Chain A
């Protein structure tokens, strides 16, 4: 079990994930770099605050970052099964 570093900021009022949308994209070119060739995973999280208000959070990850995120989720699920 990993050491948990929770800072005070949000842990008292955790929010619920209502929905998660995803997109797999490839950044091809930009004004500062003509040849990006960079795949990425884009997530749109729909989150319900304790008040009931729904907010959206978008985030972007590289492929290795997503794979690590996925791995952590699997570990978390495995622990939940044993608890």
Chain B
């Protein structure tokens, strides 16, 4: 494999690892990566390369390394003797990979840490009730209907539809103002 091809394959391997480990692409597998990127390589040699790169990517991601930390880490890896060492080209590939994927990997890790459902979507409308079937005029007034789309990472959405009169809306707004105030206080004290 020429240097150019080796770099291309390594870039592909690192991206493939990100897809598998962080971006939930279940169609990408270790075998697929081998067949696509390193068809000529012996299975044991590939396994060693795969595990080494996977371990390095995970270490970098878990520590959320910045530029300085990454360079120090990769330099230390290139100095290691024997099979666990890293070549300069491999270190460069890892550096490029992390520069381009850091934000996306971090977002994926954050999403994995959110164990409660997230608010995926929101829609609402306001109706004007003009009365009900019993001829009771007391129920006139605007009514808001809000549909919340909730879901955990990788799972189907659940929909919740809530009805609010003006009093209820104002109660909720008051609580939201309290939340905003709390947030503002924290920002100012840090």
Contact = CB atoms under 8 A, between A and B. Distances in A.
Contacts of B161: 9-11, 13-15
Contacts of A39: 183, 186
- Interface range on chain A: under 10, 10 to 19, 20 to 34, or 35 or more? 35 or more
- Interface range on chain B: under 10, 10 to 19, 20 to 34, or 35 or more? 35 or more
Contacts, number: 140
Contacts of B169: 73, 76-77, 80
Interface string A65-77: 1111110111011
A53 interface: no
Contact of B62 (A5, A13, A34, A41): A34
Contacts of A13: 161
A69 B122 contact: yes
A70 B180 contact: yes
A15 B162 contact: yes
B160 A79 contact: no
11 contacts: A4-B124, A22-B175, A58-B117, A65-B118, A66-B179, A68-B122, A76-B146, A76-B169, A77-B173, A79-B126, A80-B126
